Structure 1
Amino acid sequence: MKRIALLCMTVCLFSVAVQAQVLATRNGKISFASPSDDDVKAVNNQVTSRLTTATGQMTFSVLMKGFKFELAEMQDHFNGKDYANTTAYPRADFSGMITNVKAINFTKDGTYSATVKGNLTMHGVTKSVTVTGNVIVAGGKVTVKASFPLSLADYNINGKGVSSKVNVEVSCKYD
């Protein structure tokens, strides 16, 4: 009887493990732009992200020096001590959960609304954030997209003459 119970538990655990697919990318994209200054815009195409489909757990990690600006002067200013100080704070990280993961069918093509709640750490400050976006399933591939405003002052980024808010866009296609 114990063997049958053990066998049943093993089969159940194995089936849960098979369904818990972990998707990853090293080529995600995060961009930001100031709504008030056309020169303040940058993109980073080296975003690392993981998504566990069964639980909705999501992580993002980005090297701050990876943000590229059209103007070299803006690049230097962004990385300098008066703004992002990328030498002292080289990474930004997010860890959170899709709160409505059960409403997303990762095996069926479609666009699904998602709410993600977690902690964003940037410039040595960690804040709780909630962002809405979309999970797009197409041909067996999963992409997440979101757009949201970000207050730089919340993360102690108070550069002189720099916008206090930026609009952030995230797009990650998982392999």
Structure 2
Amino acid sequence: MKNNIVVAMVLISSLIFAQEKKISKSAVIIFEASVPSFEEVKATNNNVTLVLNPATGQIASLALMKGFRFKVALMEEHFNENYMESDRYPKALFKGKIEGFDVNSLTPKPKDFVINGKLELHGKTAVIKAPAKISQSNSGINLQSNFSVNASDFDISIPAVVKNKVANKINIQVDAVLK
């Protein structure tokens, strides 16, 4: 009987804890590695999961690599098979913290924050410091961030044949509404 009460208390407390978190399963990540005068190298993933703990400012994100869509199907195939090796490295994972985050200070007007964390991609991890604009709306907590990473930091090699057509510096845009 005593054990049942302890188990019930643990389950209830974990449910309460889970309800504090804000989640988006439809966050959007757009990345671009285009070089001027060449074909656009850009993809969008509309099914990114993003989780925020408003009490602590802890934030985490998961994007499946095969969820990125390009305008050109052949680019998507090369991205998954040659660059990202998506079967071997199927996801990108970010874990971090929004510095100075206070959910009670959010308003409809976006406020500037900095997100510090680690991005795990292609079997490598890099420290990321990204600016973010965060606001509160009727839909939830809106988060937008733009930052850049280098493909070489994640051991993503760009073949010599296309080195002039694909940038090493990859611009990343994140948009999410957390509910």
Q: TM-score, normalised by structure 1?
A: 0.83
Aligned-pair Cα RMSD in Å:
2.0
Structure 2 residue 174 is the aligned partner of structure 1 residue 170 = yes
Q: Give the distance between the partners of 1:62 and 1:156, measured in 2 at CA.
A: 18
1:64-79 aligned within 5 A: 64-79=65-80
Partner of 1:86: 86
Question: How many Å separate the matches in 1 of 2:96 and 2:50?
Answer: 11
Classify the secondary structure of the residue corresponding to 2:77.
helix
Give the TM-score normalised by structure 2.
0.81
1:142 partner amino acid: I
Does 1:57 pair with 2:72?
A: no
| Alpha-carbon distance in 2 for matches of 1:157, 1:104 | 40
The offset of 1:39, in angstroms, is 2.4
What aligned pairs does 1:6-155 form with structure 2 within 5 A after superposition? 21-36=20-35, 37-80=38-81, 82-102=82-102, 105-106=105-106, 108-139=107-138, 141-155=140-154
Identical-pair percentage: 28
Gaps of 5+ in 2: 1-12
Aligned-partner Cα distance in 2 for 1:99–1:61:
20
Measured after TM superposition, the shift of residue 104 of structure 1 is 6.2
Alpha-carbon distance in structure 1 between the residues aligned to 2:102 and 2:24: 22
Q: CA deviation at 1:139?
A: 2.3
Change beyond 3 A, Cα 1:46–1:140? closer
Task: Work out the number of aligned pairs and report it.
Answer: 157
